[in-house]
Amino acid sequence: MKQPANNTGSNVRVVFGRGIRKSIAAETRRLGAARALILSTPQQSDAALETAELLGSLAIGVFCQAEMHTPVHVTNAALAHVAETKADCLIAIGGGSTTGLGKAIALHSDLPQIVVPTTYAGSEATPILGQTEDGVKTTISDPRVLPEVILYDSELVQTLPVNMSVTSSLNAMAHAAEALYATNRTANTTELAIEGLKAFVDGLPKVLANPNDLIAREATQRGAWACGTVLGQVGMALHHKLCHTLGGSFDLPHAETHAIVLPHAIAYNARAAAKELQPICDLLGGDNAGTALYQFSKNVNAPLALRDLGLKEADLDHAAELATTKPYPNPRPVTQDHIRSLLQAAWAGDTPIH
């Protein structure tokens, strides 16, 4: 696996290691900070409190109200807390939701961020922020939201429940899969995307066999970094557009939605980008990257049907319309009829149409 400084040219400090979270005080001092505000979801407040203990007098507060899709009202409450406590640094410990809150605060305050990821979502490696206000999700890309330091501690991701380990892995793999055919891809992003995919193809079955296998957990975290990094470097297409629509407008959960849609979106695009998607067939076998991913999803017991997430069949027309109103680059032309059929198969959990 390539080291970040060689591959991205960015100044982000990325450290992997079992127990690396315990160096949080040294990392905070390295940033020249002395008043750290720790962020988490309510479910991970214990991890936030452990971080506060590790920081000692460097911690000035804990804000445990991060929510999925980064609602603006939560960001505003956190910004008030930042002002009150005069925080000079943010420490986000959690998945993409907590990272999203840290990024949203950084956008307004320019405070430096240390992220300690506990899922494979990869948000920590991107300058992208998705936010929700009045039920509408918007995405921006801004260098101010890119975290300064990432600490990948395999001990933290081992508590990720098995079902979430599966869906979060497929969420990461989706970034890499779409990076393979991105119009602005480079040889370097393609190489990194393949490394990320391989890390999950090899590592996820080992994680499922033994969720406490810290070597496999670290390998998958390296995959998460690679997949997140390419997400930040190239444009995404049909798959991410569909998931954005389903998450933002129908309130479907992020990682599960990515997991279910991925084989369908890739099967759809395989007709126009078979050569670009060949690395997926090389890793998984088969001659269609989408059906290969569908089989992989079945093997790892991933959720397969959007209906199981609560999406109603009656919503599919509207979803297809929303996902096709604004044009965007995609290997295969996107039509409402085709996307409606794709969504029908994903809703029912059927084999992808290709």
Mode of pairing for the β-strands spanning 136-141 and 113-117: unpaired
Instruction: Write the single-letter amino acid at 8.
Output: T
- Give the SS3 label for residue 204: helix
221 touching ligand NAD, by CB under 6 A: no
Range 95-114, binding ligand NAD (CB under 6 A)? 95-98, 100
Query: CB-wise, 60 or 156, nearer to ligand NAD?
Result: 156
With respect to ligand NAD, which residue has the nearer C-beta, 28 or 98? 98
CB 158 within 8 A of CB 220: no
For 252-307, where are the E strands, in sequence order?
A: none
CB-wise, 191 or 251, nearer to ligand NAD? 251
Question: Distances from the Cα of 135 to the Cαs of 75, 123, 131, 246, 248, in angstroms?
Answer: 15, 21, 10, 12, 7
- Give the N- to C-terminal CA distance of the chain in Å, as an integer: 33
- Interface segment toward ligand NAD; rule CB under 6 A; list 4-12, 125-133, 212-220, 294-302: 125-133
CA distance 215 to 207: 9
Q: Which part of the chain contacts ligand NAD (CB under 6 A), choosing from 26-34, 93-101, 202-210, 321-329?
A: 93-101
Q: Residue 119: what residue type?
A: T
Torsion of CA 170, 155, 247, 272, to 10 degrees: -20
The residue within the footprint of ligand NAD, chosen from 130, 196, 263, 352 (CB under 6 A), is: 130
Residue position matching structure tokens 């899709």: 69
DSSP category for residue 332? S
Are the C-beta atoms of residues 268 and 344 closer than 8 Å to each other? no
Provide the residue type at 9 as one letter: G
Q: How far from chain centre, in Å, is Cα 169?
A: 9
Which one, 109 or 159, has the nearer CB to ligand NAD? 159
167/288 with CB nearer ligand NAD: 167
The stretch among 128-136, 187-195, 264-272, 274-282 that binds ligand NAD (CB under 6 A) is: 128-136
Tell me which of 119, 221, 288, 330 binds ligand NAD, using CB under 6 A.
119
Q: Does 71 bind ligand NAD (CB under 6 A)?
A: no
* Position of minimal CB gap to ligand NAD: 96
Q: How far is the CB of 353 from ligand NAD (least distance, A)?
A: 26
Q: Please, which residue, 58 or 106, has the CB nearer to ligand NAD?
A: 106
In 3-state terms, what secondary structure has residue 5? Answer: helix
* Residue 302 lies near ligand NAD (rule: CB under 6 A): no
Which of 59, 104, 128, 346 touches ligand NAD by CB under 6 A? 128
What is the DSSP code (8-state) at residue 270? H
Pick out residues in 145-204 that bind ligand NAD (CB under 6 A). Answer: 156-157, 159-160, 164, 168, 171
Based on the shown chain and the rule CB under 6 A, indicate whether residue 68 belongs to the binding site for ligand NAD: yes
Among 166, 255, 259, 311, binds ligand NAD (CB under 6 A): 255
Of residues 43, 138, 212, 335, which one binds ligand NAD by CB under 6 A?
A: 43
Query: Within its chain, how far is the Cα of 118 from the centroid?
Result: 11
Closer to ligand NAD by Cβ: residue 236 or 270:
236
Q: Are the C-beta atoms of 111 and 84 separated by less than 8 Å?
A: no
Radius of gyration of the chain (CA): 19
Q: Which is nearer to ligand NAD, 44 or 190 (CB)?
A: 44
Please report whether residue 118 would count as binding ligand NAD according to CB under 6 A.
yes
Footprint of ligand NAD on residues 10-39 (CB under 6 A)? none
Torsion sign across C-alpha atoms 196, 99, 114, 32: positive
Binding site for ligand NAD (CB under 6 A): 41, 43-44, 68-70, 94-98, 100, 118-119, 121-123, 126, 128-130, 156-157, 159-160, 164, 168, 171, 231, 254-255
